Amino acid sequence: MRKHNGQFRSTKYHVWLGIAWLILIITLLIMGSHVKLEYEYKIISPLPDNPVQQVEAKEIEVKVTAKELITWDKIAIMIISEFKDLGPKVTQEALKIAYCESKWNEQAYNGSNTNGSNDAGVFQLNSIHKLDDSIRFDGLANIKWAKAKYVRDGNWSAWSCSRI
């Protein structure tokens, strides 16, 4: 803009600059729908109900996409609620394993096991257990089944992410 007799006038360069900005904004809007946003969260492991027990709270770092954010906190709260009676160490392990297995996605599915079986849900329950899909794809039912399996086995050996 040039000042002429106390008034501002547009120049041809400003018109092109405006068009360039408009193209940039439209491009960013179009690309924005394809951009994968990631958020980082830290979860503090739950402490035991008995304050006499000395347990160190540890942080778990996870990256969550905007789409996963919808169910992320719901699943984490369900895992903590179900496993808290087994202590903070097991609860923390459950959070890590479920995140490693499915990114806390109750609709996660893996149909490519070498033995022809498939895995589904938060803890990626295998089809060899002959569970109905209403259990495998229901977040809470999946978590409860995984807890029962952990209690029965006494370890996480049934999960491929057990070495985390």
DSSP letter assigned to residue 46 = P
**For position 62, what pLDDT does the model report?**
55
**163 lies in some domain:** no
Give strand pairing partners of 63. 40
Check which CATH number belongs to the domain holding 105 and give it. Answer: 1.10.530
Q: Which amino acid is at 145?
A: W
Number of residues assigned to the chain: 164
- Percent of the chain residues topping a pLDDT of 90: 37
- Tens digits of per-residue pLDDT, 21-57? 666 666 655 555 444 444 444 555 454 455 444 445 4
Residue 148 resides in a domain:
yes
> What digits encode the pLDDT tens for the residues 77-124?
889 889 999 999 999 899 999 999 998 889 999 988 889 999 999 999
Clarify whether residues 55 and 105 are in a common domain: yes
By the 10 Å C-beta count (0-12 exposed, 13-18 middle, 19+ buried), 60 is classed as: middle
Rounded Cα gap, residues 49 and 81, in angstroms: 13
pTM: 0.59
Asked if residue 59 belongs to a domain, the reply is yes
Instruction: Indicate whether 50 and 73 sit together in one domain.
Output: yes
Note whether 19 and 58 are same-domain residues: no
* 8 Å CB contact between 71 and 105: yes
Average pLDDT over residues 52-68: 51
The answer on 26 and 47 residing in a single domain is no
Provide the residue range defining the domain that includes 27: 1-35
- Name the domain count of the chain: 2
Question: What is the full DSSP assignment across 137-152?
Answer: TSHHHHHHHHHHHHHH
Give the Cβ contact number of residue 93 at 10 Å. 21
pLDDT digits (tens, 9 = 90+) for 141-157: 999 999 999 999 999 99
SS3 state at 131: coil
- CA–chain centroid gap for 146, Å, is 18
